[in-house]
A and B are shown apart, each in its own frame.
Chain A
């Protein structure tokens, strides 16, 4: 009888929360950043956060581009050559110092993994061997190690690539 009361009561989620030792933490919105992010009428997805940098994919009227925001100065960083009108970015990741950006884009029926160096303004294509289609990328803090989700022979795999 007592057991049935507890199972039917609204206390169940709280009791189970206590049993699994899960506590809540305060999520404090950072309005000075969120105001910048919500100013435009654009859609933002795939956030990748460094201490000072936020890389994301921004969609404006169906056209997507990679954007890097300097959270300290609250400005969008100019990335010459990274976005192309004939390419669609899929995934993006930034190194701790914001200098290296790894990204995946689709262009002319090809899906490519690329590394952009801000100080040089260069883009380098990274070969995937054995061949596969990259889907998602993660860069470590130094920008020297990449983890890439790759579709290969009908299954998802993860490759580690040292640059």
Chain B
């Protein structure tokens, strides 16, 4: 009986070892053009197909969007100015990109609709300065971090009145994904 117990324990140990070694993580590093020195603030789309990040372009922190499936860097023409950029955030299919930019010495939050090409400015109530953004995966809500009386505060805003939802494919209303891969 003791020998049987010992064998069962040995078997459990072997199975655990196989399980632990088989569920290791696979790491990929983003290839970088020679002039890009620094990559920061990664933000994945809900689908995992797109990655927004802040890259150093001639000393100016600039938002960049990559299609992880094709490996291509996608154009964001209207976001080539108003640096420094920070805190990018993407919706489920990468249709919407929220990011903080700088204009006339003032930090401002914007949302770029990659399907229509429109850029929306977010009028922030009061004299508050946005520090970080997070877009809900369906783009119906936006969470914003502010500095307020020496403390960090987070507020959630409903933006669904002006923004079409960006839902995973298969849902009733969804973004034509092929349009976003260009």
Residues of A within 8 A of B (CB): 13, 17, 20-30, 33-34, 37-38, 42-51, 54, 56, 59, 71, 96, 126-129, 135-142, 144-145, 147-149, 155-163
Sample of 14 further A-B pairs with CB below 8 A, known A47-B133, A144-B48: A25-B121, A27-B124, A28-B161, A37-B156, A38-B153, A46-B145, A47-B134, A127-B25, A138-B44, A139-B44, A141-B47, A145-B48, A158-B40, A161-B27
| Nearest CB of chain A from residue B46's CB, rounded to whole Å | 3
Contact B144 A47 (CB under 8 A): yes
Produce 1/0 per residue, B18-60, CB < 8 A to A.
0000000111111010000111111111111001010000000
Contact of B157 among A28, A50, A158 (CB under 8 A): A28
Contacting A156 at CB < 8 Å: which of B39, B92, B118, B135?
Answer: B39
With beta carbons under 8 angstroms apart, the residue of B25, B29, B42, B131 that contacts A138 is B42
B137 interfacial by beta-carbon distance below 8 Å: yes
| Complex: A49 Cα to B158 Cα, angstroms | 12
Interfacial residues, chain B to chain A (CB-CB below 8 A): 25-30, 32, 37-48, 51, 53, 68, 78, 92, 104, 110-111, 117-125, 131-138, 140-145, 151-159, 161-163, 168
Closest CB in chain A relative to B123 CB, distance in Å:
5
Per the bound structure, the CA–CA distance linking A13 and B121 in Å amounts to: 13
B155 CB contact (under 8 Å) in A37, A48, A157, A162: A37
How distant is the Cα of A137 from the Cα of B81 in the complex, in angstroms? 26
A-B contact list, 5 entries, CB within 8 Å: A21-B119, A26-B159, A54-B156, A138-B43, A162-B28
Verify B156–A163 contact, CB threshold 8 A. no
Docked CA distance A45–B151 (Å) = 9
A23–B3 Cα gap in the complex (Å)? 76
Nearest-Cβ distance from residue B130 to partner chain A, whole angstroms: 11
Chain B hits for A43, CB < 8 A: 151-153
Pairwise interchain contact B121-A160, C-beta atoms closer than 8 A: no
Q: Is the interface of A mostly helix, strand, loop or mixed?
A: strand
Q: A140-B48, A149-B41 are in contact. Are A159 and B78 (CB under 8 A)?
A: no
Residue in A23, A34, A155 whose CB lies within 8 Å of B38: A155
B119 nearest CB neighbor, chain A only? A22
> Would A162 and B120 be within 8 Å (CB), given that A29-B125, A29-B157, A45-B145 are in contact?
no
Q: Are A28 and B163 in contact (CB under 8 A)?
A: no
Q: How far is the CB of B108 from chain A (nearest CB, A)?
A: 10
Decide: B159 and A25 in contact? CB cutoff 8 A.
yes
Residues on B with beta carbons closer than 8 Å to the beta carbon of A135: 40
List chain B residues, Cβ under 8 A from A128. 27
Q: Is B42 touching A47 in the complex (CB atoms < 8 A)?
A: no
Please name all residues of chain A whose beta carbon is closer than 8 Å to the beta carbon of B152 when the two chains form the complex: 43-45, 59
